[in-house]
Chain A
């Protein structure tokens, strides 16, 4: 407890270095006269697991979706892998998108395809590989995320919630992305599955050299998996740092989030 309390202003600094795999600069997003994000800056460093937290409706998902280009932004720039996404040709944009993997909140598996076919969709779209090789690769990905090969021929409607998340993660990993986006990966999972999932993310980061951008509310995930945590409030990144930094932050919402009863229990455990 020796660190001086950080003021919200300088915590969200944009120390743009060569290490930043994704930089968001001056992002403003709004819907019909109401601004959700205003002049938001955020850097994601190569190889880190960055957690995004914030109260409901503070624009966590909007931030994720606008980085992915699913939501129209009013202003702002994204620098991905050192390239400004606005200035890319269609071809270059595709090459960038191929390096991104996304796990949507509810999996978003294609319901009319089996798990194996779901994982093969990106491979089929971008490369011409023999079917045998694609089957082997897909099974390999399934086992990497901790599913048994028996699940390969099942359809999404036959899977449990945890299995859907794992299968969707396997699909997100199909092309070996460098930057992985996770939208509430552990929501709706039981504590054991959620913990396994956190371990899985850390293991994959170490083995595959991934960078992970994770929207989550799970304090366990935040304390165990994340290297840094960005707090979204008042339409911008209010604070960014590791758990200890944020716990000392005087802002009332951050204080209650990171020193609430649930959070304290987390400290007692560690």
Chain B
């Protein structure tokens, strides 16, 4: 029987393991309660006894009050350590017989433990695995990009395969619903840039040039880049989590066996929706950033709104705006492709979903900044 007793705090008598009278008799007395409650004590006594390696012929279990599987295992371990059979433990309470017999069948083979690798070997192994991982990433990204292009071409012939409903749905979630936060953030960033610029340029008496600063910085770089980073955190992680949990619950497998094309149904609508939505969000961000700069300068630097607008008209041209907006679809492509590919690589565990979502956001932000740098060099080289 398992330990009983209605007293909730009961832990019974402590387990005792002692030699019977003189140690020469070769009988060990086992008494008290051998359950998981008192197991630590019992286990250390067994260790102690085994260390002394006494010549024991018999275990006397007559003083054993309660027993569970954990306690039975510790007694079996004692017997094995002493090189005794179960039959040398007497008398076994009839209630405990089957428990002892069942536990005696376990742990017969030593469990296989994974060897800890040498630090350097582990380092090389991890590096190698990471390189292979990067190769796999590139392969799956190239595959997805190719599939999406073929999907778009197919869409020219059969417009129905483009899943307009799905695209509009994703545009609403990634685009329309992000408008307030994008506008708010850009407004603040525009204001902060203007404030810092005004503060520094005031020393040179060149305060009006802060308008050039705000206009060019917001339109060329900050507006789009910050929007893209926000969207990567907001929608990229959502894409990975959605597709990843569908993968975990075998929904993706179900689609596959129904003959649905995963790329066409899940990936392409997200990519297309984001490619349309991100430039539009960028436009909102640009406007909000410029308004933020204007409002701050009006409040902080005595530059009136009409002066601001007039000066801004001279400071920026259409190409300033285009340089920013041209980058948006590329950023959208990076976010959507990376987060979808990470989602498809989610494994069976909740931990892997978390890891992939983190990886999706980190990788897409890193690549976006990299691509932004490449664009800056390119535009500088062609003098745009």
What residues make up the interface of A, taking CB atoms closer than 8 Å to B? 81-83, 92, 95-96, 111-112, 123, 127-130, 133, 135-137, 139-144, 149-150, 152-153, 155-158, 173, 175-178, 203, 206-210
Contact = CB atoms under 8 A, between A and B. Distances in A.
A139 B36 contact: no
Contacts of B109: 149
A270 to B, nearest CB: 25
B9 A127 contact: no
B95 interface: yes
Nearest to B6: A82
B187 interface: no
10 contacts: A83-B6, A83-B8, A112-B352, A127-B40, A137-B73, A155-B348, A175-B36, A206-B98, A208-B68, A209-B1
B102 A207 contact: yes
B102 A152 contact: no
A82 B99 CA distance: 26
A209 B67 CA distance: 11
Contacts of B350: 111-112
Q: Helix, strand, loop or mixed for chain A's interface?
A: helix
B348 to A, nearest CB: 2
B8 A144 contact: no
Contacts of A208: 2, 68-69, 99
A244 to B, nearest CB: 28
Interface string B1-41: 11110101100000000000000000000000001110110
Given A136-B73, A136-B77, A175-B36, 4 more contacts: A95-B9, A133-B43, A149-B111, A208-B2
A149 B112 contact: yes
A127 B39 contact: yes
B8 A140 contact: no
Interface in B233-260: none
A81 B349 CA distance: 37
B2 A140 contact: no
A142 B107 CA distance: 9
Chain A CB within 10 Å, residue with most, of B6, B95, B349, B350: B349
B106 interface: yes
Nearest to B73: A140
A144 B106 contact: yes
Given A129-B40, A149-B109, A176-B69, A210 B2 contact: yes
Contact of B95 (A111, A130, A209): A209
A203 B35 CA distance: 20
A116 to B, nearest CB: 8
A122 to B, nearest CB: 10
